[in-house]
Structure 1
Amino acid sequence: MSHKEYTAGQISEHEGLSTFKLGMVWAGFPFIIAITITGSVFASKSSLLTAVSAIGIGSLIMFVYVGLLGEIGWRERRSFSQIAQMIFGDVGYLFVAGLLSFLVLGWFTINTAMPAEIFATSFGVPYYLVATILGIAFVLVTARGIIGMNVISNFSVPLFFALILIAFAMLADRGNAGAHPHYTTVGDHSLTFQEILAGVLASFADSGTLAPDFNRWATSRRASWISVFAAFPLGFGIAMLAGVGFTAMLAMHGLGIADPFQSANPIGYLVGLGGVFAVFAVLVAIINQGSNATHCLYNSALGFSKLFRQRYLVTTAIVGTIGVIIAATGVWAFLLDWLEIIGVLVPPIGAVVIVASYSGYLARRSSGELSGMAVAPWLSLGTGWVCGLIVNYSAAVRYLPVPIVSFVAAAMAMGVLASVKGGQRRLTTSTLILDEE
């Protein structure tokens, strides 16, 4: 297989990754400590039953969502940005693809900063130096394209799985060696099931929407769905449920659960033990979060390559450098409050792409049957965004998961506009004239 990333064209039918390799690429994306910490936070803010239920349902929803988008990538053999251009038009896709490319670039900086922070704190090394070195290493891995994603995932997945097992074993041994463990109530019930579900979906909505970037390399529809299954519900669900389980065990042994970003997670706990456990935990943190960081940079580089019509390697170097600078200077800390924005803005984009593809709208656009402004997708996006914002900033947010509301609203609007004769429209000086078929 060549190393060409096809930022402006289709992948050849003779090129692609095996089901196992593509599955490992996907598994290495969400099977990370950040998702485990997220599970710990959800458990500490709700209850074990609520957290487990929301994570389980959310993981299955993500499987369907990402699987449908991945199949579109396999069928078209194009990246998300290329597909978005066909749906949203030559001008409109600049915003859609640019937004997602910017969001995942932000996640690259955060996932570069997290292991750098762990390393710097554990061994007393200047943070900016560690962040710079790790960032450069992650950029070099990303420069290898889809092959680089497979290589780092092959290390990240088994290492993180081993770390989780070791952390649980050490925590269990600590309880057995000391006084009798006692149960402490887990969770303060400050978040409802709907809010936890919204958080589960939003935690990977942007990267999941970019599924065509990876699944264009699938060799068959079956391979496309199996590879997504390795991430959702498997990798994502196991990582997040591990956080819930670890939080529960900490509470059972009377240990603090209030600091999931510090010691109340598998890596933080092993670092606290010191010695070989700390060294192993920091090493895994670097490779594990590096896997997610490189995946995000890969998505970002593909998108910006298409937008600015630059070679993949050139774009990777440029946007990677920007991400490293943001991570090294500590500016990344201002990027953490994104889940709320992602839950409103991103699901409608995925909804429009899915409905446009499976309703035949994408095929009619790509064949030239539909011409002019891509009004239907933008009206649908607007519908999803408005509904999502209304719920997000009202009391309804306690009872309605924002990502689902914004997705359903956009999907219904696109379904109606794509099915009627007026699905593609053009504006005149007097009214909205039908311009289709």
Structure 2
Amino acid sequence: MSKHSAGSGAAAPADADHVLGEEYEHEPVPMAARRSLFSMVMVWAGFPMIITGAMTGSLLVLGMGFSRALVAMIVGNLIMLAYVGALGLSATRSGMNFALIASRVFGTKGYALASGLLSTLLLGWFAVQTGITGALVASTYGLNYVAMTIVAGLLYIGITFVGVRGLHLIGLVSVPLFFVLGLVVVVHSAGTTSFEAIWTYAGNNGVATMSMGVGLTVVIALFIDAGTVTADFNRWSKTGTHSLIATFSAFPVSNLVAMLVGGIMTAALAVPNANPFGADNMFGYMNKLQIGWLGVLAFLFLYINLGSVCSHCLYNAATGWSRILRSKMRLMAVILGLVGIAIAAGNVWAFFIQWLSLLGIIVPPIGMILLVEAYVLKHGSTTQKEWRTLPFVSWAIGAAVGFIVEFQAPQLSTAISAGVVAAIAHLVLTYATAGRAADRAPA
């Protein structure tokens, strides 16, 4: 029950929701509470325009060479635009978060498996990005890793606690700061070589080791988890047009900008055996220039920029788990944030690439099944079943194909294969079982 309709008599004591605004964990966002187009653009644009995206761009260029990596970046981001845009549009129409929508597809109890998995993966992303913050600060300035990680984590919990308004505000600062500093890095590094040298850069030590399929998986998997739970964000949009524009600001615009900053810098410098997760990234490059004001700005930039992605991930995780546990987003943000800080202190961020591979296998089928349900099958808005079997079978089939592709056909895209197969399986199984049910029906 909504707190606005609960109880009578004495007013409830002031709490965070009264002060900061309701987050609608358990019901659709009413139109009166929806946010402006500018606010939604800031929420989405501030998510992927991050230093981790630049690191990913560097990895792609190191593994594929610049020109082939550029193709993977563009195609992968256009796929994300279609995928996230369609899921977001559905959420805007209903006003529901991911967990509420999933309960209609996987069942009133079954949704907890899909929502809990994605929320936990996003908590893992919070830990990864928080760990990267602490590691970069510690290695650059000789400070204690654990202490810097805790400082970062507590700051990011605070942003998330504010709610969707906090995501807007951090994007308002992070986006222009990244754009300006990214431009400085690109112009300065590109000035050390020629356009032709950048374009023809063949990869690490002149060898390309990453296939186009793997490259697409890396691009897609970077935000496939948050993209799948896009309903947590796009439910706040006032119109479908606003929802699509906000998504476009992230994919391809912000995500591609971030990847290009890292990719151009890497190709321009052509450092042998470069380590984007060490010092060979835009943060390390700014510090190497040894310009006082730029060094100070780089320090602030790191915390603000990664604070944007961390707060978004923690918001998704807290929204999902608050629905499952019948709790409040802000309470779960504090609890899960502390768990994430503890995990980050154990250097979990070091498993970044393995994490992307895992996401590419198990997450795309979930989103594709939601799309099939929303746009093709168009089932009713509610379900009385606690568990709907077919979506889980389709999910398992897609994930199984993803695992096969990952290990037996690495030249293909794991993320695309898993998602497409799950969608086809769900359609086939749905129509096949509907046909058998019709045959059994009395004349």
Q: Above 0.5 in TM-score?
A: yes
Bigger mean CA offset, 122-131 vs 55-64: 122-131
Number of positions where the alignment pairs a residue of Structure 1 with one of Structure 2 = 418
User: How much has 1:76 moved relative to structure 2?
Assistant: 1.2
Establish whether residue 189 from structure 1 lines up as the match of residue 208 from structure 2. yes
**Contact 1:422/1:434 (8 A) holds in 2:** no
1:311 matched residue in structure 2:
328
The 2-side partners of 1:424 and 1:159 are apart by 59
Q: 1: CA distance between counterparts of 2:209 and 2:192?
A: 30
Distance 2:176 2:35 in 1: 20
Deviations 1:94-139 (A, max 9, x none): 1100110010101101111212222222222211111111111110
The 1-side partners of 2:339 and 2:306 are apart by 18
- 2:425 equivalent to 1:413: yes
- Moved segments of 4+, more than 4 Å: 172-176, 432-435
CA-CA distance at 1:418 after TM superposition: 3.8
Which residue, out of 351, 361, 370, partners 1:344? 361
Q: TM-score, normalised by structure 2?
A: 0.88
- Counterpart of 2:415 in structure 1 is 403
Tell me by how many angstroms 1:434 deviates: 7.1
Residue equivalent to 1:45: 63
In the alignment, does 2:76 pair up with 1:58?
Answer: yes
State the Cα distance separating 1:31 from its structure 2 match: 0.6
- The alignment's C-alpha RMSD in Å is 2.5
Contact 2:159 2:167 in 1 (8 A): yes
CA drift at 1:282: 1.9
Counterpart-to-counterpart distance in 2, 1:403 and 1:79: 23
The question of whether the paired residues in 2 share the 8 Å contact of 1:66 and 1:209 is answered with yes
The 5 A counterparts of 1:336-415 are 337-361=354-378, 363-364=379-380, 366-368=381-383, 371=385, 373-394=387-408, 396-398=409-411, 400-415=412-427
8 Å Cα contact 2:192-2:269 kept in structure 1: no
Cα distance in 1 for partners of 2:232, 2:166 equals 14
Task: Identify if the C-alpha distance between structure 1 residues 372 and 35 changes in structure 2 by more than 3 Å, giving closer, same or farther.
Answer: closer
Which residue identity is paired with 1:407? G
Q: Counterparts of 1:137 and 1:2 in 2: how far apart (Å)?
A: 17
1:110 aligns with 2:123: no
- What's the CA shift string for 1:18-59, capped at 9, x where partnerless? 111101110111110101111111111112121011111000
The answer to whether the aligner puts 1:259 opposite 2:275 as a matched pair is yes
CA distance in 2, matches of 1:120, 1:372: 48
Is 1:245 equivalent to 2:264 in the alignment?
Answer: yes
Aligned sequence identity (%): 36
- The runs of 5 or more residues in structure 1 that have no matched partner are 426-431
| Amino acid in structure 2 at the alignment position of 1:330 | N
1:203-243 Cα offsets, whole Å, 9 max, x none, are: 11111101000000000000000000000000011111222
Establish whether residue 122 from structure 1 lines up as the match of residue 136 from structure 2: no
Structure 1 residue 336 displacement after superposition: 5.4
User: How far does residue 90 in structure 1 lie from its aligned partner after superposition?
Assistant: 2.1
Counterparts of 2:46 and 2:386, CA distance in 1? 41
TM-score by length of 1: 0.90
1:327 and 2:350 correspond: no
